[in-house]
Structure 1
Amino acid sequence: MEVEKIAVGLDIGTTKIVAMLGRKNEHGKIEILGMGRAKSRGVHRGVVNNITQTIDSINEAVREAERNSGLKIHQVIVGIAGQHIRSLEHSDYITREDFEEVIAQEDLRRLIGQVHKLVMLPGEEIIHVLPQEYKVDSQAEVREPMGMYGSRLEANFHVVLGQTSSIRNIGRCVKAVGLNLSAITLEPLASAEAVLSREEKEAGVALVDIGGGTTDIAIFKDNIIRHTAVIPFGGNIITEDIKEGCFIIKRQAELLKVKFGSAWPGENKETEIVSIPGLRGREPREISLKRLSQIINARVKEIIEQVYMEIQNYGHEDQKKRLIGGLVLTGGGSKLKHLRQLAEYITGVDTRIGYASEHLSNGKDHNLNNPEYTTAIGLVMKGFEKSEENQEITTNNSKESVSVYEENLKGTRKISRRKPTEISEENLLKKKAIERSKSFLENWADKFRQILNDSE
């Protein structure tokens, strides 16, 4: 098994850290070779706030993944989220001097590189520059400009920004574990890679990744990323509300949410009661499931309304921007009972739960067929995408070198490809001696011919 054909995704979340190894099989499906999971300590709402604890959690997840797969992990692609993430729309252009040549990959890289020089707020840096639509000279709405002729290349970009300190803290944690950071990817983009089909992206769809600390949104239309956003609420805040509303500890509140929680309060009756063990010999506490669902409903409703506000900001009411593909909910928070029905009721948009099983060769594995692992699976897929891009760049550079070499040969005469032989001093003396003897014999032959002529 070749190491370079294996990709490793590292999902650093608020509630858990997941390291996942995968490879592509002959059918293009992802085969997960191993996975490690650890409780996330030192991360709050997607942002590292304790370096030492985060390093320990990453190390635990990575070592477990290595044990399960029997492989050594050297480099990873990491997902990033958090309330420090923001995005903006930007337009830029370049002027091509050699407009008689077709637009090549190098022109696109130069245009994207120019966007990276964009002036940002202090303490921010660019995470992604995502092209949306190109314009070549006066021709607008160009999806793929490569191979076209033109002197001016222009594009609209979706630019994702993040706090430099947060990005560097993640890099420091990964490096401290002894790993190389190959790339950083916005987590909703990785999740979208895992759960959205090409048809959904074409029709218009909003991916909603409900994690422990944040809810991440990515909107696609015409196969182009149109909008991204991060809402600073997730599953943990629901657990906190249950803890405060039912007067129980956090571990009990999480267990109550997972086993008996529902986002739809009308499903439970007043008579349905759950008994929670008391602390240190105290009496058990009885909790009404209807009351529990009312607490969950209030917070979930707030999250979905924030999501719908982001969709409206994109312009969903506009006929051209209508999201025919509706909502796709994923992440650990999407497992909450009756969440899909509540989302449809609030937004009026068709909703489904997103699973990554269709991209996996072992997708029937119960452990992997889980919405909370979609980001990690998407990061593995992004890892293969990045390696293919790097390979393409290397191949193009090799082709450019060959073409330059061939261009330099044009107009020159054909020469022998035989390697020149080095002549030593001894060989040089022998060569001169042979030439001297040769000239002597030639002179003697001329004199001999002259003597014969005279005698005749």
Structure 2
Amino acid sequence: MEQGNYSVGLDIGTTKIVAIIGKKNEYGKIEILGIGKSKSLGVHRGVVNNITQTIKSIQQAVEQAETNSGLKIGSVVVGIAGQHIRSLQHSDYITRKDSEEVINEDDLDVLCNQVYKLIMLPGEEIIHVLPQEYKVDGQAEIREPIGMYGGRLEANFHVVVGQVSSIKNVGRCIKSAGLDLANITLEPLASSDAVLSHEEKEAGVALIDIGGGTTDLAIFKDGIIRHTAVIPFGGGVITEDIKEGCSIIEKQAESLKVRFGSAWPGENKDNEIVSIQGLRGREPKEITLKNLSKIIHARVVEIIEQVYVEIKNYGHDEQKKKLIAGIVLTGGGSQLKHLKQLVEYITGMDTRIGYPNEHLAGDSDEEVASPLYATAVGLLMNAIRNQERMTAINTNKISKGEEEPVMAGFEEESMMNPNKKERKSVFDRWSEKLKDFLDNAE
């Protein structure tokens, strides 16, 4: 695979698996070269519960993307989500040996590494440590402490925690499908890259990504991610409710939801009826659209209220933490009719639907610009950023006459130019650990 020319994002969702191949064009926009999707079998609420079926689904999506693009997929950036993901706030500090020397990246690394020593519940591991703001010798609200003098360096951290086994299972599926794992990223972060503007992140915004199995929340303020949460309900639960409430099969329930579903019961009249074909010669079933929207409304209200509790937990009611840009809805579930109005009614916050088209080249397929593909596009953006960083490191090494360029992948950090220290991101470190585990497990 000519890694320098294109990158691949792989979204392993509860209802679908999407492989998306793309590259940056001369205008800095993302050109989609190929897309493949398959029905996700073996994933429940964002967690792999059948390895064999998940591998098959990944292979189908990858083969379709390869056929569409005429390119070969080697390594992918994959997203993690699921009901096992949780987050917490933590404060920590270090006392520096020499306060006469300026604070450097090593000090920040020492402080970050200290957070990893937090004792988690059995089977859990810290997968993401996001510094919120720093404090130097009592001086608060410092965004970037590098270059400052000080003896005591403190920071508030947003810590994301996940089940080790769940993440290793995703890694195992990727490897068994014949792919290399280039990086792992949190899905709400990927979606936010695709649909949020820099101004929204500065002003304060809550991104709600309604998927098939889970609803992911990411809150940004002052350009920094402040809160993440995963609600273990999504569009699949709405379909399940329709199936039970109308006594029909799942396929019919999904079709009803997509074609006639509405989150606002008031708009449907009592005489609006849809007829569903009966099974094996049985009489057709007649379902009123008012009843359908009542079923959908009840579950959607429950999901939104749970998300709103998380927004309040972040502290949206405080003036300083107010989310001026309101809410952005994305994911397949955001396409439900009148959902925007219902969210505004329940939360009292400005709401818009997030489309990932801002970063895509003008000639991109309209289908890819749907909220359905927000996470996949975000993962592709992450893959392209990784690729650009690797290219820059390789170019730097070649220009200095060093023996050979660094290959893209996991060895990147250890082979870097020692004169120019680049900090490993949390996910780079996590990816290395996961790759070592998968290699040893063979």
Look up the match of 1:347: 347
1:98 shift after superposition: 5.4
Look up the match of 2:432: none
Look up the match of 1:33: 33
Q: Deviations over 1:91-150 (max 9, x none)?
A: 223344455554333433333233223221110012211111122333321112233333
Look up the match of 1:194: 194
CA separation in 1, counterparts of 2:106 and 2:55? 38
Look up the match of 2:419: 400
CA separation in 1, counterparts of 2:271 and 2:15? 33
CA separation in 2, counterparts of 1:129 and 1:317? 25
Aligned residues: 402
Q: Deviations over 1:378-424 (max 9, x none)?
A: 0111223344556677869537279xxxxxxxxxxxxxxxxxxxxxx
Could you say which structure has the larger radius of gyration? 1
With over 3 angstroms needed to count, the CA separation of the structure-2 counterparts of 1:390 and 1:109, relative to structure 1, is farther
1:5 shift after superposition: 4.6
With over 3 angstroms needed to count, the CA separation of the structure-2 counterparts of 1:38 and 1:401, relative to structure 1, is closer
CA separation in 2, counterparts of 1:58 and 1:127? 23
Contact persistence 1:233–1:303 (CA under 8 A):
yes
Look up the match of 1:295: 295
1:221 shift after superposition: 0.8
Look up the match of 1:6: 6
Q: Output the amino acid matched with 1:108.
A: L
Contact persistence 1:195–1:354 (CA under 8 A):
yes
SS in 2 for 1:150: coil
Look up the match of 2:208: 208
Look up the match of 1:61: 61
Q: Output the amino acid matched with 1:381.
A: M
CA separation in 2, counterparts of 1:284 and 1:15? 28
Look up the match of 1:454: none
1:22 shift after superposition: 1.6
Q: Output the amino acid matched with 2:309.
A: M
Q: Deviations over 1:184-238 (max 9, x none)?
A: 2111111011101111111111000000001010111111111111111100111
SS in 1 for 2:4: helix
CA separation in 2, counterparts of 1:9 and 1:240? 29
Structure 1 gaps, min length 5: 403-456
With over 3 angstroms needed to count, the CA separation of the structure-2 counterparts of 1:232 and 1:34, relative to structure 1, is same
Structure 1 stretch 65-74 or stretch 334-343: which is displaced more?
A: 65-74
- The one of the two structures with greater contact order (alpha-carbon pairs below 8 A, sep at least 6) is 2
Q: Output the amino acid matched with 1:152.
A: R
CA separation in 1, counterparts of 2:97 and 2:392? 25
CA separation in 1, counterparts of 2:110 and 2:20? 34
With over 3 angstroms needed to count, the CA separation of the structure-2 counterparts of 1:364 and 1:62, relative to structure 1, is closer
1:265 aligns with 2:265: yes
Structure 1 stretch 76-85 or stretch 145-154: which is displaced more?
A: 145-154
Q: Output the amino acid matched with 1:9.
A: G
Contact persistence 2:31–2:364 (CA under 8 A):
no
Q: 1:84-103 residue pairs with structure 2 within 5 A?
A: 84-97=84-97, 99-103=99-103
CA separation in 1, counterparts of 2:12 and 2:243? 25
Q: Deviations over 1:231-263 (max 9, x none)?
A: 111001110111111111100000010001111
SS in 1 for 2:367: coil
1:362 shift after superposition: 3.8
Contact persistence 1:203–1:221 (CA under 8 A):
yes
With over 3 angstroms needed to count, the CA separation of the structure-2 counterparts of 1:311 and 1:119, relative to structure 1, is same
With over 3 angstroms needed to count, the CA separation of the structure-2 counterparts of 1:282 and 1:194, relative to structure 1, is same
Contact persistence 1:356–1:363 (CA under 8 A):
no
Q: Output the amino acid matched with 1:144.
A: E
Contact persistence 2:4–2:391 (CA under 8 A):
no
Look up the match of 1:237: 237
Q: Output the amino acid matched with 1:104.
A: N
Q: Output the amino acid matched with 1:318.
A: E
Contact persistence 2:78–2:379 (CA under 8 A):
yes
Structure 1 stretch 86-95 or stretch 213-222: which is displaced more?
A: 86-95
CA separation in 1, counterparts of 2:274 and 2:109? 60
1:143 aligns with 2:143: yes
SS in 1 for 2:162: strand
Look up the match of 1:366: 366
Contact persistence 1:85–1:230 (CA under 8 A):
yes
Amino-acid identity (%): 71
SS in 2 for 1:119: coil
Cα RMSD for the two superposed structures = 2.0
1:379 aligns with 2:379: yes
Q: Output the amino acid matched with 1:45.
A: R
Look up the match of 1:225: 225
Contact persistence 2:10–2:376 (CA under 8 A):
yes
Q: Deviations over 1:340-367 (max 9, x none)?
A: 0111111111100000101111465211
Structure 1 stretch 34-43 or stretch 103-112: which is displaced more?
A: 103-112
CA separation in 2, counterparts of 1:147 and 1:105? 9
CA separation in 2, counterparts of 1:241 and 1:33? 38
Contact persistence 2:15–2:212 (CA under 8 A):
yes
CA separation in 1, counterparts of 2:367 and 2:46? 23
1:337 aligns with 2:337: yes
CA separation in 2, counterparts of 1:392 and 1:153? 31
Contact persistence 1:264–1:297 (CA under 8 A):
yes
With over 3 angstroms needed to count, the CA separation of the structure-2 counterparts of 1:6 and 1:144, relative to structure 1, is farther
CA separation in 2, counterparts of 1:323 and 1:63? 42
1:2 shift after superposition: 5.0
Q: Deviations over 1:72-105 (max 9, x none)?
A: 1111111111111100111223344455554333
Q: Output the amino acid matched with 1:344.
A: E
With over 3 angstroms needed to count, the CA separation of the structure-2 counterparts of 1:223 and 1:245, relative to structure 1, is same
With over 3 angstroms needed to count, the CA separation of the structure-2 counterparts of 1:401 and 1:354, relative to structure 1, is closer
CA separation in 2, counterparts of 1:356 and 1:340? 17
1:179 aligns with 2:179: yes
Structure 2 gaps, min length 5: 398-415, 422-442
Look up the match of 2:107: 107
Q: Output the amino acid matched with 2:30.
A: I
CA separation in 2, counterparts of 1:66 and 1:364? 17
Q: Output the amino acid matched with 1:255.
A: S
